[in-house]
Amino acid sequence: MCGIAGFATADNLDKSEILLDEMLNSIKHRGPDGQGKEVNEDFSIGMRRLAIIDVASGWQPIYSHDKRLAIVLNGEIYNYQELWQELKKKRYSFTTDHSDTETVLHGYEEWGEKVVDHLVGMYAFVIYDKKRRELFIARDRLGIKPLYYFERNGRFFFASEIKALLKSKLIKPEVNLPVLYRFLMFRVHDNGEETFFKGIKRLLPGHYMTVGKRGIKKIKKYWQPRHNPQFSSEKTDREYADEFLHLFKKVVKRHLIADVPVGITLSGGLDSSGVSSLTAELMREGVDLHLGGKLHTFSSLYPNKTIDESGYIHTVERYIGSEPHYVYPKVEEFWQDLSRWIYHQEEPTISSAPYAYYRVYQLAHRFVKVTLSGNGGDELLAGYLPYFRSYLTAALDQKKYFNAVKEVVAGWDIYKRYFCDLIEQKNPFSKNLKMNELLSRAFVGQGGDFQYFISRNLNERLMQDVLYYSTPNLLRYEDKNSMAFSIEARVPFLDHQLVEYIFGLPIDQKIKNGWTRYVYRNAMKGRIPEKNRLRRSKVGFTNPELDWLKAKADVITDIFSSNTFKNRALYDNDKLLNSFEKWLDGSPGDGLIFWRIMVSELWMREFID
């Protein structure tokens, strides 16, 4: 159930219904199976349905018995069966066969705004209360499912995608310059309520709001996890690993709940390997993926490229006995798809890497309606090398000098590259390219008072990335990529109960003895191939993006030289062209700087111009 939209109704109900239809049609890709709507003198709300659970009778809006309440929901409630039984004991009667959405509706009748505390899942839902003449809108704790909104002339609009909001014609698409500046300078986006579109906001993860006819009444945060700042362990490594495995297997199992075919996106990395292997194990225990007993995996391959993960992917496929499917993205296909991809992403991306997922979901659409991925595991379990810096500073702050020295020695084979890169970045005489040198004087400083704060404590740093700096944009990429092809993408690692457990683990269950993801590697022993469990490299779903930029240098030069680009007055155009030419000739620097500039321009041409 994957696309919702609505607004405070204007005086003319017929025109309101036409506008609602236009908004819903713009997100038809999110829900091609059907449409439902409620239009009254207070609010017009509707949904496009991708039927996953209760295919036959779970149509929306769903109404309460007295017709006072109506709900539309985007997402899945994984504990709906337990809620169903609990609410039946409280004498609530159900009109659907087993719709997870109906449990949210009756849960709201029982618990009011606190219904969110009872939900396990990914969701953005809207409940219309006829008696109060208001909307109750909530988004899941990690922000897996999107919800955008704006207010204009006393009217409120909401939708699962920004393109639906633009159908209102009440808000002109304009660039939100502070957001664009922070994106270009710091690679930060999706980290707050502001979007790249001026005036359009997102309801933040773990928040709900109430909305009346005259606009927003209240926005409240309902979830804030805590982190364990310490190294000290109360249990043995084995006890932690057993606890983790028990919970993780439970989480994966509930993410497999569906009445339609389910598959796995397999990158070959540790996280997707674990999700794939536990899924195969659960299938042997009787879980049905509605594919005739087969487990379908979907992967992106780049033969003869340094980023090719085929060896790790094939090892997992053989281990779990999956039926594999592959895409082989090419540079020409990427440039042909680029405009359409930007249209679906709706906002710029920090690299072209998410395009690999776009192609994988394009393939998966032919076989399944639901996929599980390993997204979020790196940010939760310290899978990236820069996290080692926060490990070291935490050890030094807590006088764990032996831990710090031991970790440097044990992990030197992988950490030394990070140290070298860090030294180069801090070198005041470095000739590396810097974004601020390419911006116009008028544009520099447009980011306001933004500060990119990185905690010295590893667990707090991980929480920052999961809640603010990294995972939110990864979830946006995955939602938009999958929904472009009418697939519901699920992310077991970001189940909030698993997230809370991992945040509560000691620091040295994340990094220890030269290993990242320490507790996870221990938990997966005997459950994924040792080649994958003990790998020390990190690639994931990506593409040879720098090569792809160089392959189309003439196209990028034309973009940077165009009058449209120059007239925006955002860049020092001569310096930009000169720097791009030098980078093509081999000068040092981060080539993705040019990607961010280019994709921002193409986004403006797609949505602003």
Query: Domain locations in the chain?
Result: 3-221, 237-383+470-533
Active site residues: 2
Amino acid identity at 110: E
CB neighbourhood size of 450 (10 A): 16
Asked whether 250 and 358 are in contact (CB, 8 A), the reply is: no
Architecture of domain 237-383+470-533: 3-Layer(aba) Sandwich (3.40)
Among the listed residues 518, 504, 462, 514, the one whose alpha carbon sits nearest the alpha carbon of residue 237: 518
CB neighbourhood size of 88 (10 A): 13
Amino acid identity at 206: G
Asked whether 488 and 494 are in contact (CB, 8 A), the reply is: no
**What is 3-221's CATH number?**
3.60.20.10
Among the listed residues 486, 477, 189, the one whose alpha carbon sits nearest the alpha carbon of residue 355: 477
Residues 6+ apart with CB under 8 A from 6: 20, 23, 43, 44, 45, 46, 72, 126, 135, 157, 158, 159
| pTM score | 0.96
The DSSP secondary-structure symbol of 435 reads G
Distance CA 71, CA 110 (A): 15
Q: What pLDDT shows up at residue 289? A: 97
Among the listed residues 143, 142, 119, 149, the one whose alpha carbon sits nearest the alpha carbon of residue 211: 149
Q: What pLDDT shows up at residue 112? A: 97
User: How would you write 19-78 as a 3-class SS string?
Assistant: HHHHHHHHCHHHCECEEEEEECCCEEEEEEECCCCCCCCCCCCEECCCCCEEEEEEEEEC
Q: What pLDDT shows up at residue 306? A: 77
Give backbone dihedrals phi and psi of 321, rounded to 5 degrees, phi first.
Answer: 70, 40
From the first residue on, what is the mean pLDDT of each consecutive set of 10 residues in the chain (609 residues)?
A: 91 93 98 96 97 94 97 98 97 95 98 98 98 97 98 94 97 96 94 96 98 96 97 92 98 98 96 97 97 97 85 96 96 96 98 95 98 96 92 96 94 83 64 86 82 91 96 97 98 98 97 95 97 83 85 97 97 96 91 96 97
